[in-house]
């Protein structure tokens, strides 16, 4: 069953900069082979439910297994019969707004 998730996996620790830990999480996701896209707040992952959930677990545990307190926020869209929703949803809205980038010429 195709699943699109938006996940934020956040380390808790001391100091202002935890980007090294976040990079470890993103590395696991990118090496999974599943379609993914990272922005400043979330990483989207798309694929079969079991594979997506496996990657979410592995990505969260990469920090937790090092003793780092780890928070996880997850939103899932399970839509039978559809694929490539990571880009198709955005494309549809941009078309309705007047063009490929959402701006009328």
CATH number, domain at 22?
3.30.70.930
The pLDDT value recorded for residue 17 is 79
Give domain status of residue 105, yes or no. no
Mean pLDDT, the chain, integer: 92
Q: Using the structure block, give the residue that is written with the tokens 């039978």.
A: 80
Say if residue 18's pLDDT is above 90: no
Task: Report how many domains make up the chain.
Answer: 1
Report yes or no on 102 lying in a domain: no
Tens of pLDDT along 63-86?
999 999 999 999 999 999 999 999
Can you give the residue range of the structural domain that contains 71? 2-96
Higher-pLDDT residue of 5, 17: 5
| Residue 29: CB atoms within 10 Å | 22
Distances (CA, A) of 78 to 1, 48, 70: 7, 9, 25
Q: Is residue 33 part of a domain?
A: yes
Residue 21 resides in a domain: yes
92 in any annotated domain: yes
């Amino acid at each position: 069953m195709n699943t699109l998730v938006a996940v934020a996996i956040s380390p808790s620790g001391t100091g202002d900069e935890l980007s090294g830990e976040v990079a470890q999480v993103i590395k696991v996701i990118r090496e999974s082979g599943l379609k993914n896209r990272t922005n400043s707040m979330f990483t989207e992952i798309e694929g079969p439910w079991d594979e997506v959930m496996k990657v979410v677990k592995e990505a969260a545990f990469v920090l937790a297994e090092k003793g780092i307190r780890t928070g996880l926020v997850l939103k899932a869209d399970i839509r039978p019969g559809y694929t490539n929703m990571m880009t198709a949803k955005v494309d549809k809205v941009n078309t309705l707004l007047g063009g490929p980038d959402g701006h009328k010429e």
